[in-house]
Structure 1
Amino acid sequence: MAHSRIDVKRLAALDAAQAAHLLREVRDATLSGQPAPLAPRPVIEQSWERMLRCGVDPDHDFRAGLLVHEEVERRRRTSELRHVMPVLREGLLPVADVAHHIMVVADAEGRVLWREGSSPVLRKADWFGFEPGADWREDVVGTNGVGTPLVARRPVQVFSAEHFVRTHHSWTCTGAPITDPRDGSLIGVVDVSGPLDTLHPATLALVASVAKLAEARLRDLHLTSLERLRAVAAPVLARLGGRAVAVDQDGWTAAVTGMPYTNRLALPKAPSPGRSWLPTLGLCVLEPLPGGWLIRAADEPGPPGATRIVLDLAHPRRWSVTVASDAGSWRHELSPRHAELLYLLAVRPTGRSAAGLADDLFDDPGRTVTVRAEMSRVRRYLGAFLEHRPYRFREDAEVELLLPENPRDLLPHSTAPAVCGARFTDSPSTVTGPDAPLKSRTCP
């Protein structure tokens, strides 16, 4: 059994042939269950385990059907990634060209939308099927710099035989996820790739930094759009009495009157003018504004009736909560942390204290300030259906939890001890006893 792990700096100190040889030994031994000279890095080892479970062939690559050109163009036009392409090009293309790399940008489904950089390397990428419209999800082509960061939700560098599929071993790639800075939802990934002899450990920090710059650009664009909506809504709100709020198409608040400010409202799936019931305001009247909605609270009761809450964690990269009642339904995509918190509440219908959630998430009951801050953000869109002291879903709400077929695919990005423990049980949604602690396991 290996007692130490692969180290990126050690790999960089070797020449390409030596590094590739070492990684092949580690991969072949690990996949065959034999003792390896070193253990793979944790992020790679976890990815290999996922590949074995979902049946990816380690010796032959598989290429899913390319998207047609028109579909690639449609996705480019509608993707939030189009707004940050100048940032990505400016930050990565000059370095990629000098280092004989290419820059690849894929959407949240792992579909390659843009690919630019060194012409000779682009031709080599064609041989791998690494081209616009290609599907580079991890469960399709194995461990790689596009699909693995989408699942791990963090920057990942993959060297040579750390790629699960043998035909990719002459390649090195470094990818970082790009998320919506407003709510943490996944938008896509930026990757820098090239032949093995071009690897450099500093590439990971560079790609991660440029991805953060892209997210900052998205944040600036969002604030600018809210300013425009605020300018339109201000004179309208000034003439109104009672409670009213102007929000953009996604429910982000531009201006309010007669009520406390809240960052975001949960809107119906398909908002339309007229009366509607919203979780945080109750019965409301929606009126269209350029770039958003004017929402006026009705001063009369509007009970939602029977409420059903569906917490969908079945997908490895995207999670959501949907609230459905007699008055309509709302869906909200969850950030990684909020997905963890709502999972913990769903499996504990009797509730969990701030200290208990801190223990479940961080193995540290003292981190209650962090938990309370995150739960405060959760309550902004789900507050009408949550109780506190302890935190729990309302008793009159029917909560349905959708989980992956294989428990080990539960929130694969998470290192929370309670989530890691649930991955190794037959029923991750089962907890016994009102005060029983959630099973704990430290993730590698």
Structure 2
Amino acid sequence: MDCAHAARLLNGVRAATLSGQRPQLLPRPVIGESWGRMLRNGVDPDRDVRSGLLNLEEIEERRQASPLLDIMPVLREALVSVADEAHHIMVVCDADGRILWREGNAAVLHRADRLGAELGADWSEEAVGTNGVGTPLVARRPVQVFSAEHFVSAQHMWTCAGAPITDPRDGRLLGVVDVSGPLETMHPATLSLVGTVAQLAEARLRERHVAALERLRAVAAPLLARIGGRAVAVDVNGWTAAVIGMQPVDRIALPKSLSEQSETAEGRAWLPTLGAVTVSPLPGGWLLRLDGPDGEAESAGDTRVVIDVSRPRRWSVEVTDGSRSWSHELSPRHAELLYLLALHRGGRSASALAEDMFGDPTRTVTIRAEMSRVRRYLGCLLLHRPYRFREDAEVEVLLPEVAADLLPHSVAPGVLRSRVPAP
């Protein structure tokens, strides 16, 4: 591949796009969508991005709090030596786009400093435009950005390929691993390599999760055997390790005080799918003893559901039920599903939702499985046959200011239709 020729072509495409013209050669969809976001958000294509660094103390705090710390050995072993030999560097950022680790070729690290890709720098799209860190955070898939595909002109002599790393338990975005280097070092196989390594890292996180649940189960099983009634042992994220006297579920939605393992959480609590429970601490989790009758918790009063899809990378649902309130961070797919159900308050059949999600009405098995997972934290707020929110619940959707920015990762037909302004 003639990198210089390709760079010149892309520069012409970018120049035409920035001037409001329609280029003869269109950019790749993932790049074109990102450029559209930059133009709508007023990102300066000639800006200097070298600002707003975190200090060393802040970087270390983020490192220690990040699940990515546990998989850094996997990333180093798979990528650093390859990057060094290919005159690249490996960059690992958190879900905010902050660079927490950089390793690889010393000369390229020095060039990255001049570019602004330093430790603690913000490389989200909002900060530095289309790039191999910020764009995968929004698109939720591996992305290679070459030369003038970067929105900011200072990055045109750079090439990068990044892949998001998500928590395999719930789809929560953890960050991005990226391999970057000078334009002339670009290799088409880099994107495939980075994507494969991200999947390997997620598999390692999954293994650690299973091992942690086994340790919790070993502690909880003898306690549950001595308890009468119904009880469940969960980790701090609500994943079930052991259960007695009730139907087992994979995961239980926990309030923030429990998910953060706050000492003040011990005692009594109310959970959206279980009702009133007595909470006792366990190493790495909680013992929950159910106080109410069998079945899902009853409503405590007027119920309000707020689905927040206004941001490009994080989405949530918040429920206020009488005097009780709780929130839950949504995976990309669950954000799509709840948005579509809020859009169609009359309800959607499994086949209609499959059409909305995949453009294929026969994929009802996938829809039923996902809706079963959603009901584990929304409980009786979601009804089925057809799938819908409970009629007496007030449902509000917080949308981005511009329709085109709605769930930018999504390729679901029902979401794509909502991105197009009404004539």
TM-score normalized by the length of structure 1: 0.90
Deviations 1:180-202 (A, max 9, x none): 00000100000000000010110
Tell whether the 8 Å contact from 1:304 to 1:327 is kept in structure 2 after alignment: no
Where structure 2 has 5 or more consecutive residues not aligned to the other structure, the ranges are 259-264
CA spacing shift, 1:181–1:326, aligned 2, 3 Å:
same
Amino acid at match of 2:393: A
Quick one: distance in 2 between partners of 1:315 and 1:48? Answer: 17
Quick one: distance in 2 between partners of 1:240 and 1:35? Answer: 70
Quick one: distance in 2 between partners of 1:266 and 1:247? Answer: 10
Report the counterpart of residue 373 of structure 1 in structure 2: 369
Task: Work out which of the residue numbers 361, 384, 388 in structure 2 matches 1:388.
Answer: 384
Report the counterpart of residue 110 of structure 2 in structure 1: 123
Report the counterpart of residue 60 of structure 1 in structure 2: 47
Deviations 1:379-429 (A, max 9, x none): 1221221100110111222222111111111100001111111112269xx
Tell whether the 8 Å contact from 2:307 to 2:316 is kept in structure 1 after alignment: yes
More moved, 327-336 vs 206-215: 327-336
Deviations 1:103-142 (A, max 9, x none): 0000000000001100000000001110111011101111
Kindly state the Cα deviation for residue 32 of structure 1 after the two structures are TM-superposed: 2.0
Report the counterpart of residue 433 of structure 1 in structure 2: none
Secondary structure at 1:384's aligned position in 2? helix
Report the counterpart of residue 9 of structure 2 in structure 1: 22
Amino acid at match of 1:276: A
User: For 1:401-420, what aligned pairs fall within 5 Å after superposition?
Assistant: 401-420=397-416
Tell whether the 8 Å contact from 1:63 to 1:140 is kept in structure 2 after alignment: no
Tell whether the 8 Å contact from 2:49 to 2:116 is kept in structure 1 after alignment: no
Report the counterpart of residue 175 of structure 1 in structure 2: 162
Task: Work out which of the residue numbers 329, 335, 338 in structure 1 matches 2:331.
Answer: 335
> Runs of 4 or more off by more than 6 Å in structure 1?
none
Amino acid at match of 1:226: L
Report the counterpart of residue 291 of structure 1 in structure 2: 284
Tell whether the 8 Å contact from 1:276 to 1:328 is kept in structure 2 after alignment: no
More moved, 368-377 vs 157-166: 368-377
Kindly state the Cα deviation for residue 212 of structure 1 after the two structures are TM-superposed: 0.5
Quick one: distance in 2 between partners of 1:35 and 1:353? Answer: 41
Report the counterpart of residue 100 of structure 1 in structure 2: 87
Tell whether the 8 Å contact from 2:83 to 2:89 is kept in structure 1 after alignment: yes
Deviations 1:167-224 (A, max 9, x none): 1100000000000000001000000000000101100000000000111111111111
Where structure 1 has 5 or more consecutive residues not aligned to the other structure, the ranges are 1-12, 428-444
Report the counterpart of residue 216 of structure 1 in structure 2: 203
Amino acid at match of 1:169: H
Report the counterpart of residue 280 of structure 1 in structure 2: 273
Quick one: distance in 2 between partners of 1:420 and 1:182? Answer: 27
Report the counterpart of residue 342 of structure 2 in structure 1: 346
Tell whether the 8 Å contact from 1:150 to 1:177 is kept in structure 2 after alignment: yes
Q: CA RMSD, aligned part only?
A: 1.5
Report the counterpart of residue 309 of structure 2 in structure 1: 313
Tell whether the 8 Å contact from 1:361 to 1:418 is kept in structure 2 after alignment: yes
Report the counterpart of residue 319 of structure 2 in structure 1: 323
Kindly state the Cα deviation for residue 368 of structure 1 after the two structures are TM-superposed: 1.3
Tell whether the 8 Å contact from 1:76 to 1:82 is kept in structure 2 after alignment: yes
Tell whether the 8 Å contact from 1:283 to 1:300 is kept in structure 2 after alignment: no
Tell whether the 8 Å contact from 1:64 to 1:140 is kept in structure 2 after alignment: no
Quick one: distance in 2 between partners of 1:187 and 1:334? Answer: 13
Kindly state the Cα deviation for residue 64 of structure 1 after the two structures are TM-superposed: 3.8
